[in-house]
Amino acid sequence: MAIDYRGVFPCKVREAVSDADLLDMEKAGNRAQVVLDVMRNDPRIDKSKPESEWTFKTVIRGPDGPRQAELRIEDCLAQAAPLEPLARHCRGCPFNIRATDFGCGGAIGYPISAQAERWLMSRLPADLNTPRGRLLTRAITDFKFDGSVIDATRSRKDVYESDVPVERKWGGLLSRKTRITSSQILHMTFGVGNLQATHAKLIAYFLGFLGDDFNIANDPADAPLPQDDTVTLELKYFLAIAALAGISEKPVLVDA
């Protein structure tokens, strides 16, 4: 399972494939490649069978909730195959944040690590009595980002590593205390479906990927660092794409 996302930037790929199909094809291809890498190194897998016949079980989220399904590697690769001839359009594209095929999107794999949640919270403003801080607290209040949709799934270790969210507090003994949790930030980011351009811009701003002038912050800490775990790294890519989408007035598709 993963949070799949894509910035809806203008390009030749999008002219050939619908946004929904592009996300589904990429999800199928990414899933197949990840599973193949694992199964090839698993001594329990019957290697006498061709890889095209290998199957795996996954959880699919549908209108009636999550359900387990068995998929064939070959079927997933076949679903993603129409993207192969389109990948050439990604070379040199200014929206290709990841510098790879279809690099204006990606996937954040579950479970969301505790390290990644701590990193998210470290990105919030140190002082809430600033333009960024005031706008953040107003958005949380106005749109009721209470984190409940995230906390409802924290008992599942395949979704969240930590049973409890990371919490930050602002204020002192003589001032009103403000408390924000990582569940609220994740709710705001991945709990509302696709992000319209303004929403994407605000998330990137709240988490420091855009400055107060709403231009790209270009902070070295926004780039991949050796100490980043996989989820933190993928969150950085997501926020970089959200920032670029926001200032380009383009939405971000999100399938969480």
pLDDT per residue over 53-71, tens digit each?
888 877 666 556 667 778 8
Model pLDDT for residues 184-193, shown as the tens digit of each residue: 999 999 999 9
Domain boundary among 43, 75, 104: 104
- Choice among 18-22, 60-64, 136-140, 222-226 with the minimum mean pLDDT: 60-64
Shared-domain flag, residues 82 and 142: no
pLDDT tier for residue 243 given thresholds of 50, 70 and 90: very high
The candidate with the shortest Cα–Cα distance to 54, out of 67, 30, 38, is 38
Block residue for tokens 């094809």: 25
**147 in Cβ contact with 189 (< 8 Å):** no
Shared-domain flag, residues 17 and 51: yes
Quote the pLDDT of residue 179.
95
Quote the pLDDT of residue 52.
76
Quote the pLDDT of residue 64.
61
CB contact set of 141 (below 8 Å; sequence gap of 6+): none
Examine residue 246 and state whether it is found in any structural domain, yes or no: yes
Shared-domain flag, residues 147 and 93: no
Shared-domain flag, residues 225 and 166: yes
Query: Which domain, by its residues, includes 60?
Result: 13-104
Shared-domain flag, residues 54 and 127: no
The number of folded domains in the chain is 2
Give the Cβ contact number of residue 244 at 10 Å: 23
The candidate with the shortest Cα–Cα distance to 115, out of 166, 188, 187, is 166
Shared-domain flag, residues 175 and 125: yes
Shared-domain flag, residues 128 and 225: yes
Domain boundary among 104, 123, 151: 104
pLDDT tier for residue 174 given thresholds of 50, 70 and 90: low
Shared-domain flag, residues 99 and 224: no
First and final C-alpha spacing in the chain = 9
Rounded average pLDDT over 157-182: 90
Q: Up-side HSE of residue 22: CA atoms within 13 Å toward CB?
A: 25
Examine residue 5 and state whether it is found in any structural domain, yes or no: no
Examine residue 2 and state whether it is found in any structural domain, yes or no: no
Block residue for tokens 């999550």: 66
Domain boundary among 46, 72, 104: 104
Q: What predicted TM-score, i.e. pTM, was given to this entire model?
A: 0.84
**209 in Cβ contact with 119 (< 8 Å):** no
**Percentage of residues in the chain having pLDDT higher than 70:** 95
